[in-house]
């Protein structure tokens, strides 16, 4: 029986993927260092999986789990902009060195499929919308660069060592179990904590910028489709097929708002061209933004312990962002 190894499996996307696989009676192994996530994410199915706390940037006993027939989902990563500017080496270790170590562990095993969680941030500010997979890449900050470097490694190992691999470039994933601690980051986590604290929503710029928000269960469905396919050495966008303005998100969430300075290096829009994944895998996103936000509001207590960001705190936290990215 094949094993399903999920790096970062206690995290946002990984925990949803693990839960889906468990429903199918799959043998799931989670490798996670718990640096940015809560064990609560896997509490409800903890007894049904094998969990190993480990640092993938360092070789270790975790590599033994790759013996035999395995499906590998490499989701583990650090994923914030400002900390990647502050400490690029930390991001290199987490997103590049760890990827290399996981790939090397795969070299001597029977990998049935390797799925890499890539980031749409590698496009930088695209010239065309919707953005296709062949768009010229222009990572603007270290996080985006390290995710691109990880993708390069995966595709090269696929080519040289014949590891059947697919890189999924994910666009603005949101949903339950998204990160609640640490630095200023993902928009929905910021907004939901502000809503709980009755603080105004902090809107960057004028709020007319749009994002391709993709619900986490749709992303999991794309991953499942990918492992079942015969594709290899492919890159596929994973998006919702639509863009939504930040102002509309605020309207759906309901509450007061305050505007803060627009940040350099951020695109006015993200919008995935998903024709390729639709054609190659038959994947179609199902969750519309209105439904996704209803789910988040119903589960809003998850963000009770999340930091509440005010304009002053955001200004301080993003100081280096402006220092290094403002041209």
Active site residues: 143
C-alpha 17/C-alpha 23 separation (Å) is 10
Q: Can you say how many angstroms the Cα of residue 167 is from the centroid of all Cα atoms in its chain?
A: 12
Residue 103, both tokens: 């790939």
Name which of 178, 212, 204 is nearest 193 in CA terms: 178
C-alpha 189/C-alpha 180 separation (Å) is 6
Instruction: Give the three-class secondary structure for 151.
Output: helix
Is residue 13 within 8 A of residue 219, CB to CB? The reply is: yes
Sign of CA dihedral 254, 259, 263, 266: positive
Name which of 151, 180, 210, 244 is nearest 36 in CA terms: 180
Residue 167 Ramachandran class (φ > 0 left, ψ -120 to 50 alpha, else beta): beta
Q: What is the DSSP string of 27-81?
A: EEEEEE--SS--GGGGGGGGGGSEEEE--TTS--GGGGGGSSEEEEEE------H
């Amino acid at each position: 029986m094949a094993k399903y190894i999920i790096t970062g499996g206690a995290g946002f996307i990984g925990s949803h993927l693990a839960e889906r696989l468990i429903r199918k009676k799959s043998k799931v192994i989670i490798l996670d260092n718990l640096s940015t996530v809560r064990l609560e994410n896997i509490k409800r199915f903890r007894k049904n999986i094998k969990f190993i706390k480990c640092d993938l940037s360092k070789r270790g006993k975790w590599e033994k789990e790759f013996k035999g027939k395995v499906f590998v989902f490499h989701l583990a990563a650090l994923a914030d902009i400002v900390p990647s500017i502050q400490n690029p080496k930390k991001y290199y270790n987490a997103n590049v060195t760890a990827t290399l170590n996981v790939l090397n562990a795969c070299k001597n095993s029977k990998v049935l499929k390797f799925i890499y969680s890539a980031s749409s941030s590698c496009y930088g500010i695209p010239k065309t919308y919707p953005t296709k997979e062949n768009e010229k890449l222009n990572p603007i900050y270290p996080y985006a660069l390290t995710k691109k470097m990880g993708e390069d490694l995966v595709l090269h190992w696929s080519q040289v060592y014949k590891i059947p691999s697919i890189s999924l470039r994910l666009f603005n994933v949101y949903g339950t179990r998204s990160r609640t601690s640490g630095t200023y980051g993902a928009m929905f986590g910021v907004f939901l904590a502000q809503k709980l604290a009755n603080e105004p929503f902090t809107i960057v710029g004028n709020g007319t910028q749009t994002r391709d928000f993709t619900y986490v269960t749709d992303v999991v469905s794309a991953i499942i489709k990918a492992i079942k396919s015969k594709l290899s050495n492919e890159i596929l966008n994973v998006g919702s097929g639509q863009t939504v303005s930040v102002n509309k998100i605020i309207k759906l969430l309901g509450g007061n708002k305050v505007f803060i300075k627009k940040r350099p290096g951020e695109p006015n829009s993200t919008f995935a061209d998903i024709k390729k994944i639709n054609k190659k895998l038959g994947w179609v996103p199902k969750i519309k933004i209105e439904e996704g936000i209803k789910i988040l509001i119903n589960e809003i207590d998850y963000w009770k312990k999340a930091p509440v960001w005010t304009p002053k705190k955001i200004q301080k936290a993003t100081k280096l962002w402006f220092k290094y990215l403002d041209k």
